[in-house]
Every structure is written in C-alpha cells, then in structure tokens.
Amino acid sequence: MARINTNPKLVAIFIIYFFMTSHVFTHGAQQQVPCLFFFGASLTDNGNNNMLNTVLKSNYPPYGIDFFAGPTGRFSNGRNTPDFITQLLGFNNSIPPFATATGSAIAKGVNYASAGAGILDDTSRALGDRISMNRQLSNHQTTISGMSSLLGPSTQVQDYLNKCLYIVEMGSNDYVNNYIQPQNYPETASLTPDQFAALLIQQYTTQLNALYTGGARKVAIYGVPPVGCIPQVRAMFPANASGCVDYVNKYTQLFNRRLKPLVDNLNANLPGAKFIYINMSGILISIIASIGASVFGTPCCAVSSAGVCVPNQAPCKNRDLYVFFDNYHTTEIIDRLVAARVYISILTTHYPSEIKNLDQQ
C-alpha cells in the first residue's frame, strides 16, 4: 500500500497549520468572531439530516470512528472542515446543527447544512428529503427571531449579526445530484451547461442578497470542488486519462467562473459587504497533489449505491492514507488541511490585524 511520503509541500502545509494553531493558543484561545454560521451541503452538515427521510445520512458506524462523540451525522471518519475552522477561530465547541440547537446555544452560531442540499430546491430529490439553500435561509430567519429574546431589540440583533462570520458551501449537488443525471431531473435537462450555470448563479444571487438582508456582512463562499474526480461520479461515468470525469469538472468551472464576479458585484453593490470567494477547486487540487502517494481512487469504507458507507462495516485501517472516506466525502486528514487554507483566506480578508505577525510567505 502507498504511504504518504515526506513531501516538502505537505510538510509546509502542516507547518502553516500548526503555526496558526499555536498562534490561536498563544492568544489564550480567544474567540476571533462572536458568532459563526454555516450554510451548505454534506461537507458541512453535522447532524441536520439525522431525522430526515433520506439515504444521505451518516449517524451510524463507521462514520465518526475517529470522532470523540462517535457517529453524529458528520460525513467523515472524524472532524469535518467546519469543526477545524471553528477550532482555528478560537471556539471551544463546535457550532450546533439547527436541528438540535436550542436556547442560548444559538448565540454563537448555527450550522444549517444538509447533505444533498442545493441552490435549486429540487436538487437531490431522487435521494429523499434535504434542506435546500432556500430552506436553510428560512431556518436562519427562525434563529434571528430567537435572538431577540437573548440580545434585545432588533437593532441590537442586527449589529450582532453584522459581526458574525458566515460560511456558505453550495453547488456541488446541483451538479452531482441534478444536472449530470438528466433521467432523474428532467426539468433542467434541456439547458446547456452554460445556461445551467447561469440559472444557478441567478438563484444564488437572490439567496446571497437575502443573507445580507438578514445581517450578514462577512461571508466566505466556497466555489464548487472538482466533483468529476469523486469516486461516486467516477462510478457513474468512464473516467478520462486525468483519472476524473473531465466534462463534469468543465461544467462546474463554468459555475465557478461566474461565481467570482458575483462575489465582486455583491461587494460593490451592498454597503459594508465583505464577501470572499474561496477557490475550493484550487485548494483541493493542491492539497491532493501534495499528498500524491495517498489512496485516491477507492473510498475507505464499503459504500452503498447511493455512495454513502454501508452501516456497521469496518472501514479501512489506515485512514490517514485515504483521500475519500465514502464515495463523496474526504477523510479527516484532508478536511484538516482544507480548513487551514480556508482559515488563511478568511483571516487575510476579514481579520487582517489577526495575521499581521504571521508570515504569509
């Protein structure tokens, strides 16, 4: 079996990560933002699908095999990217899922993400229930209403919400569990790839404006990762010489290329808005290249036809050597590296004073 070698790039990433972690600790584990909200799909979900009628669930073994609380609804063997980002930002605890967040717990933020969720309401319909971006935004309104009883008049709530950080991960399912399966999603099948990307951007524009209206000012928006490379898509279509299904990655690039200007427009048109585009494709490609000797083509667990782990089967033993835990989702070791990169982008844009002492190379 392949082993991770001591690749200089990987070593550099780890050094950056540990340097940042110690930076946080030397400041007495100070929380760098008062509150943190996550919107997204399965890479961000930490329990919102547990009570839904869907095949996209992960609250059973082997999920959570390396997590202190066991299986929780995180689609990972251990902590997921939001857990690491939350920790890097100095929070003592993870942000609770909307499904179970109650009382004063919402003051530090809520995680609305739901596996299967899309920008389009119909995305992932063939797999069961899911909380689409529109429904996540409406759940956020519920949180905002609940905050008045904690924080007082609505102007005070708005001031507080302005100071929070918002992280949004959307779009992957609109491709994997919608556009590339025209037999299951005939509504959008007649659109060209460019028209489909334009439709997503149009909907997303409305959604991100609604987030702003709800008080969000500091927002990090993930681009879509190269989903043509995930085992689930490679099981659906023949892969190209790249090892990925190239045309799927071309489609998602059409979306990403429109997303970046959307972010620029939001910043230009919305007073006080500081939205950033996180190039998830670039981040993942460089991380995976840096650990090139890892197992890439095979997931760590035995998967169902839906691409999630079969319940109660022992996963691979050397989980740090695998890129994918199931057919969609990366292992904890990858999530840790991704989170470190997202954290750098967030600090650079939103909290430059926090990094004035950090060597940005």
> Rule CB under 6 A: is residue 260 a binding residue for ligand NAG?
yes
Cα distance between residue 43 and residue 168, in whole Å:
11
Residue number with the smallest Cβ distance to ligand NAG:
282
> Rule CB under 6 A: is residue 265 a binding residue for ligand NAG?
no
Looking at 114-122, 204-212, 254-262, 342-350, which segment touches ligand NAG (CB under 6 A)?
254-262
* Member of 58, 256, 290, 294 binding ligand NAG (CB under 6 A): 256
Is 350 noted as a catalytic residue in this protein? no
Cα distance between residue 80 and residue 124, in whole Å:
21
* Member of 2, 29, 51, 310 binding ligand NAG (CB under 6 A): 29
> Rule CB under 6 A: is residue 281 a binding residue for ligand NAG?
yes
At its nearest, how many Å lie between ligand NAG and the CB of residue 308? Answer: 26
Is 329 noted as a catalytic residue in this protein? yes
CB-based contact 177:308 (threshold 8 Å)? no
CA angle 168, 81, 2 (to 5 degrees): 135
CB-based contact 234:297 (threshold 8 Å)? yes
Residues 326, 327, 328, 331, Cα dihedral to 10°: 30
How many helices and strands, by DSSP H and E, does the chain display? 10, 4
Contacts of 325 (CB under 8 A, 6+ apart): 63, 75, 76, 77, 299, 300, 301, 309, 315, 319, 331, 332
**Residue ranges of E strands in the chain:** 36-40, 165-169, 218-222, 274-278
> Rule CB under 6 A: is residue 27 a binding residue for ligand NAG?
no
Residues 272, 109, 45, 146, Cα dihedral to 10°: -100
Please identify which of the residues 42, 124, 281, 294 carries the catalytic annotation. 42
> Rule CB under 6 A: is residue 249 a binding residue for ligand NAG?
no
> Rule CB under 6 A: is residue 240 a binding residue for ligand NAG?
yes
At its nearest, how many Å lie between ligand NAG and the CB of residue 192? Answer: 17
Is 294 noted as a catalytic residue in this protein? no
Nearer to ligand NAG, 139 or 279 (CB): 279
* Member of 128, 214, 282, 311 binding ligand NAG (CB under 6 A): 282
Query: Nearest Cα to 117, choosing from 222, 239, 243, 244?
Result: 222
* Member of 104, 257, 292, 318 binding ligand NAG (CB under 6 A): 257
Please identify which of the residues 124, 326, 345, 353 carries the catalytic annotation. 326
* Member of 46, 58, 87, 279 binding ligand NAG (CB under 6 A): 279
Which spans of this chain sit near ligand NAG (rule: CB under 6 A)?
29, 31, 92, 223, 238, 240, 246, 256-257, 260, 279, 281-282
Residues annotated as part of the active site: 42, 326, 329
